[in-house]
Chains A and B, each alone.
Chain A
Amino acid sequence: MRKILSIALVVLLSACANKTINPDGDEGSQANKGAMSGENASASPTVNPLVDPTNILSKRSIYFEFDEYAVSDKYKSMVLSHARYLRDNSNLNIRIQGNTDERGSREYNLALGQRRADSVKKVMTLSGTQDSQIESVSYGEEKPRAAGHNEASWTENRRVDIRYQGE
């Protein structure tokens, strides 16, 4: 009985996730199917949704406030789009990379980046994505995108990136 309930919960959550997807997302899932089958006669030559700038799946970065690791609402739909894409494509894997700004111990920052990556992964697995498709890792402060020593750079570096296999 408990198993049925939890499956129902997952289905319900997925359905909710679907409801919050914007029109781009819907287009995306059609393009998914095109990409998957490769022979949908009615679709034009398919653009890979993962790199299509009009597709939410091309958005890969989640940003965090100082000392924060919870995924804020404005990134939820993007994360859940990736979660759904993974569920629809069980052969795909992603690596979620956590980053921090440069202040403080390198190893403690590695752990903070890990906490951020784990947090994004959790949003996805709670929505039904298989744990085995997601590896969460951390770069800590070691691979900053912005090289400055100021608030603007630090903000850019407090970030999690989603990378698909081969990227």
Chain B
Amino acid sequence: MISIITPYKIFFSKVNFMWNSLHHSSSSILVLVFCLFSAPLHAALDIEIFGGGASQIPIAIVPFAAEERLTQSVTAVVKSDLQRSGLFRMVDSVSATPHEPSEIIYPDWQMRGVNAMVIGATRLLPNGQVEVRYRLMDVAKQEILISDMETVSVKRLRAAAHRMADSIYEKLTGDIGVFSTRIAYVAKQGKKYALQVADADGFNARTAIEYTEPIISLAWSPDGTKIAYVSFENKKPVIHVQTLATGERRAVAKFRGSNSAPAWSPDGKKIAVVLSKKGGSQIFLINSDGSGLRRLTRSSSIDTEPNFSPDGKSIIFTSDRGGSPQIYRMPVTGSASRVAERLTFEGSYNVSPQYRHDGKSFTFIHRNDSQFNVAIQSLETRQVQLLTDSSFDESPSFAPNGKIILYATEIKGRGILAAVSSDGRTRQELSTQEGDIREPAWGPLPKWRRKF
């Protein structure tokens, strides 16, 4: 049980309480509280983790040589990343701190049930940069699984640590790591709405745009350089696309009536949008610069919340053409609404669909009585699994490896973000110190990872 205590908040007693009350549960429960206050060097979001898979990989991450001299710890970030995935159980090193394979006394570690170890060293170079060397060791086979080295500026130590966590995660689980990705969300405080972009662990939050009118429906461009969003600054909903690096933005859909629900095509060339210019709410397609307009749905009902399939050939969307809001799929090339196929059949309210990266399932919000929960449905088997049992979940967004779903929810009337693993076993809550957060959108894999 670990808690990081800052001058601003102490959650230790809360951790104790939770540990005791969950002790009777059969699956291994891991409760970790990160109290990281909202200052430049700290996370803008507090992250709390619940639950954990039955089969977590026991791993020891030994502090690197000379790491204590750095202003930013590398192993702390790696540990935090791996823990947040819910797939690893940290084993603390007690007395021994090997930094080279030759220094490892394997029986000591094997006895503590450790499967893998991360050891390494840091070195401050004359030019002010830091050299980071590490090895991932297989404790049973006494073998080196990964040996790597990077030289980075102090400012980029966190990023290097995330890359390390990605490599370790991939080697040990066989899945793509998402520790180097970013999340976007809307933070509301008083009358101000800020579109913020942060690292996936809540650090380095930056405001992309801030206004005194609502911002909703964030959508990352597939290459991660832009975000589309709906702003009410013109006293009606208008879709903007903003380039993150420059802050430059353009209103791409400002037609008569309402413009909303932007969704990028996988090749980044088109955006599906919902317009009321022809009456009602219907789905159209525009080029990413706002030019060209093609109507996709043609019904007299509400068609909204389009989301492209990973192969770009179809969209899933919400429609109440059948009398209640349900999720449908239609080919992008078809323009007649009669070729839309209904996908959801349980209950009277299924909305906000988002494809998984492999196109095999989608997450959505399902209303059960008066509760709104995150669910996932397989496209092949049509089987539905409810992943949450809170009351007001909305806006589900898949991580680019399809393993975690980020969503907005409410605790005691305050808007927070939460994340649930796609098998429902691990949950996290992400909250700010003040105000509400909502409308999360998980960013894509960075360019240099997309070859996986």
Is the CB of A115 closer than 8 A to any CB of chain B?
yes
By CB atoms of chain B within 10 A, which of A95, A108, A139 has the most? A108
1/0 contact string of B412-443 vs chain A (CB within 8 Å): 01000000000000000000000000010000
Contact of A115 among B236, B302, B349, B395 (CB under 8 A): B302
Q: Which residue in chain A gives the minimum CB-CB distance to B370?
A: A103
A residues bordering B, Cβ < 8 Å? 95, 97, 103-108, 110-112, 114-115, 118, 135-140, 142-143, 149
Q: Are B367 and A104 in contact (CB under 8 A)?
A: yes
Identify the stretch in B41-49, B82-90, B171-179, B255-263 within 8 Å (CB) of chain A at 4 or more residues: B255-263
Complex CA–CA separation, A90 to B79 (angstroms): 68
B residues bordering A, Cβ < 8 Å? 214, 216-217, 232, 235-237, 256-258, 260-261, 274, 276, 279-281, 302, 304-305, 318, 325, 349, 351-352, 365, 367, 370, 372, 394-395, 413, 439
Min CB–CB distance B368 → chain A (angstroms): 13
Q: Contacts A110-B237, A137-B276, A138-B237: A105 and B305 contacting too (C-beta < 8 A)?
A: yes
A-B contact pairs, 25 of them (CB 8 A): A97-B236, A103-B370, A104-B349, A104-B351, A105-B318, A105-B352, A106-B217, A106-B395, A106-B439, A107-B217, A107-B261, A107-B274, A107-B318, A108-B302, A110-B216, A111-B281, A111-B304, A114-B276, A114-B281, A114-B302, A118-B279, A135-B256, A135-B257, A138-B258, A139-B237
Q: Contacts A95-B236, A142-B216: A136 and B349 contacting too (C-beta < 8 A)?
A: no
Q: Are A111 and B257 in contact (CB under 8 A)?
A: no
Min CB–CB distance A163 → chain B (angstroms): 8
Min CB–CB distance B404 → chain A (angstroms): 21
Q: Which of chain A's residues have a CB closer than 8 A to the CB of B352? A: 105, 107-108
Q: Which residue in chain A gives the minimum CB-CB distance to B325?
A: A108
By CB atoms of chain A within 10 A, which of B217, B276, B305, B395 has the most? B276
Q: Which of chain A's residues have a CB closer than 8 A to the CB of B318? A: 105, 107-108
Q: Are B439 and A139 in contact (CB under 8 A)?
A: no
Q: Which of chain A's residues have a CB closer than 8 A to the CB of B372? A: 103-104
Q: Which residue in chain B gives the minimum CB-CB distance to A136?
A: B257
Complex CA–CA separation, A142 to B278 (angstroms): 23
Contact of A149 among B214, B274, B413, B439 (CB under 8 A): B413
Q: Are B394 and A105 in contact (CB under 8 A)?
A: yes
Known: A105-B318, A111-B302. 7 other contacts (CB 8 A): A104-B367, A105-B325, A107-B216, A110-B258, A114-B257, A139-B214, A139-B232
By CB atoms of chain B within 10 A, which of A103, A106, A107, A138 has the most? A107
Q: Which of chain A's residues have a CB closer than 8 A to the CB of B302? A: 108, 111-112, 114-115
Q: Which of chain A's residues have a CB closer than 8 A to the CB of B232? A: 139, 142-143
Q: Are A110 and B304 in contact (CB under 8 A)?
A: yes
Contact of B216 among A103, A106, A135, A137 (CB under 8 A): A106
